[in-house]
Structure 1
Amino acid sequence: MTDRLAVVAGAGGPLGRAVAVKLVGTGYTVVGIDRSEERMRQLPDGIRHLVGDPTDPSVSKTLIDRVAAEAGPPDVLVNTIGAFALGDALAATPDDLRRMMDVNAGAALWLTQAVAPHMRDRGSGSIVHVTSRPALEPTAGMAAYGLSKAALSQLVRILDLELRPRGIRVNAVAPQLIDTPKNREFLPPEAMARAVTPEAIAEVIAFLAGDASAPVSGAVLPAYGA
């Protein structure tokens, strides 16, 4: 145990696990959050985890408050939660857009609302969200997804303006394609050749979360790979 505490949301996924492992290696006590108990069993021993769905604002608050009560106020929040769906703009349905917004933008907002009071009370904190290249550069064929990630990128900039005066930094990393088992299932090898490993993205996230990036806030850092 250390006196530096990090919460990793989405810790059951490939990126979340890589981030949790990296932060433990840099000296943090890590608590993972995910809606899947089964996926979090793949976390290494010593990483505590809590089960819940952060797309529900009341659940996000309950989870973060429990972490703060049992382990202390978090120094770092990393949010790796995300959902992806293909579909062009003219075919998008209300359900498509709602799901993308709830998962990709909503969870980020609710988690930030939950953790910010604890960080504000101690006068410091670092929050890192995960957006994507289609949030920054319009991409055909993924309208609802791109809109939701663009909303997340804008949220990061808004949170920076609102929270930086209180000692809380908010940043994001924007991958293009991450090398995960799910992506390998449906993307051709030539596309995956340009993918970035979860471990490489975790290195960037750990930098944004840590003291070495103290002057950086409100940044959306591209991590596109080759």
Structure 2
Amino acid sequence: MSVEGKVVLIAGGSGALGRTIVPAFLAAGGRVVTADRNPSTDHSDERLALKADVTDEADVHRLVDEVIRRLGRVDVLVNLVGGFASGRVEDTDVALWQRMLTTNLTAAFLLSKAVLRQMVTGGTGRILHVAAWAAVEPFPGAAAYIVAKSGLLALINVLALELKGSGVTVNAVLPTTIDTPANRASMPEADPATWTRPESIAETLLFLASDEAAQINGAAVPIGTGGGAKPAAKL
């Protein structure tokens, strides 16, 4: 799939998943901007790395304004920001609860809201989030994480209804456990052959970002063969 010439804002692009997603979008012709608290030092004509806290509303607005000022617009938003924490409801304190909601849901809300007006005005745009299969098929022991990812799916459904007919679409991917170095280290006895390959996530996101996916809105695409496997601890 091609995103030739499109301005692609990738939040969390310096994380483990971003190491696969960012090169895929660059190879497909995207003009990529990554946004992270600790941005990459890899700057080029095709990639711009910016510092931003995407859980802070003012910083998100500053980020989007800077991208528009430098590159003219945002065509595609790819949100890779997320985090995992274990704990049953009875063992979850308010601080952990708030952290999971902020990282997995509030960041998605702020990023989506910040790019919406410009995309709707232009009559086109793609908003893409990485959710989790656990939001569809929960498992015990990660209450705050699963509730936050379930809220992300609800946000996507609401946005899809609000954006219907605007030319802007919002979709998500639902990976099972992602094959990252951090997950291999934390689960050394598991079989990573059943986990979700980052390349599969990249290919799906590229399709959803492309012109060919213009009629797909509100989709949540499962990726992975591990059934209800524990989701990625780190993106």
Normalising by structure 1, we get a TM-score of 0.93
Normalising by structure 2, we get a TM-score of 0.90
Contact 1:17-1:43 at 8 Å conserved across structures: no
1:151-162 matched pairs, under 5 angstroms? 151-162=151-162
Query: Could you list the per-position Cα deviations for residues 74-117 of structure 1 after superposition, in whole angstroms to 9, with x for gaps in the alignment?
Result: 11000000010011121111111100000100000000111111
Cα displacement (A) at 1:43 = 7.6
For 1:202, the equivalent position in structure 2 comes to 202
Unaligned runs of 5+ in 1: none
Contact 2:167-2:214 at 8 Å conserved across structures: no
1:91-130 matched pairs, under 5 angstroms? 91-130=91-130
Q: Which range is displaced more, 7-16 or 183-192?
A: 183-192
**Alpha-carbon distance in 1 for matches of 2:22, 2:121:** 24
Secondary structure of 1:134 counterpart: helix
Q: Which range is displaced more, 203-212 or 183-192?
A: 183-192
Contact 1:12-1:42 at 8 Å conserved across structures: no
Secondary structure of 2:17 counterpart: helix
Contact 1:15-1:199 at 8 Å conserved across structures: no
Contact 2:200-2:223 at 8 Å conserved across structures: no
Cα displacement (A) at 1:42 = 6.0
For 2:212, the equivalent position in structure 1 comes to 212
1:63-78 matched pairs, under 5 angstroms? 63-78=63-78
**Alpha-carbon distance in 2 for matches of 1:57, 1:98:** 16
Secondary structure of 1:14 counterpart: coil
**Alpha-carbon distance in 2 for matches of 1:66, 1:225:** 39
Query: Could you list the per-position Cα deviations for residues 50-96 of structure 1 after superposition, in whole angstroms to 9, with x for gaps in the alignment?
Result: 01110111111110111011111111000000010011121111111
Secondary structure of 1:190 counterpart: coil
Contact 2:42-2:49 at 8 Å conserved across structures: no
Percent identity over the alignment? 38
Give 2:25's aligned amino acid. L
Is residue 174 from structure 1 mapped to residue 174 from structure 2 by the alignment? yes
Give 1:14's aligned amino acid. A
Unaligned runs of 5+ in 2: 227-235
For 2:190, the equivalent position in structure 1 comes to 190
Is residue 36 from structure 1 mapped to residue 51 from structure 2 by the alignment? no
Contact 1:127-1:171 at 8 Å conserved across structures: yes
Cα displacement (A) at 1:3 = 3.6
For 2:232, the equivalent position in structure 1 comes to none
**Alpha-carbon distance in 1 for matches of 2:43, 2:148:** 28
Cα displacement (A) at 1:18 = 1.6
